[in-house]
């Protein structure tokens, strides 16, 4: 068994009464009724995500498809270049 170590950005936002934790680096999200709960649930979901990839033998396939790079048997997530809030104005029929 080999340990892997990595850091990824996790965004947490509010949807009605729920807090949603999301990371584009894993395309993974969770939710809870508190900020702390969402953080804890995201940690648990990440652990389960990697356990399942390991169990299925699909770590290489999935992480490469998410833009991760493997160097000397170590995995590195994509580098976030920018995180912005953008305004849009669109004309819609609805």
Tell me how far CA of residue 10 lies from CA of 37, 40, 55, 78, 80, in angstroms.
Answer: 14, 12, 25, 13, 11
| Residue-level pLDDT at 83 | 87
CA distances from 74 to 5, 13, 35, 45, 71 (A): 8, 31, 31, 21, 5
For the chain, give every domain's residue range: 11-76
The confidence score (pLDDT) of residue 8 equals 94
> What was the pLDDT predicted at 42?
98
What letter would DSSP give residue 33? S
Taking the model in full, what pTM does it have? 0.85
**What is the structure's pLDDT at 62?**
98
Q: Which residue is associated with the tokens 């669109």?
A: 90
Position 4 scores a pLDDT of 85
Tell the residue number behind the tokens 């160097």, with chain if given. 71
Average pLDDT across each block of 10 residues of the chain; the chain has 94 residues. List them in order: 88 96 97 98 98 96 97 92 92 90
């Amino acid at each position: 068994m080999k340990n892997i170590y990595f850091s990824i950005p996790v965004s947490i936002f509010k949807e009605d009464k729920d807090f949603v934790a999301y990371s584009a680096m894993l395309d993974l999200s969770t939710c809870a009724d508190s900020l702390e709960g969402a953080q804890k649930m995201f940690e648990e979901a990440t652990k389960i995500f990697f356990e399942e990839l390991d169990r299925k033998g699909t770590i290489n396939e999935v992480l490469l498809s998410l833009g991760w790079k493997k160097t000397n048997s170590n995995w590195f997530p994509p580098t976030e270049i920018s995180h912005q809030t953008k305004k849009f104005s669109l004309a819609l029929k609805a």
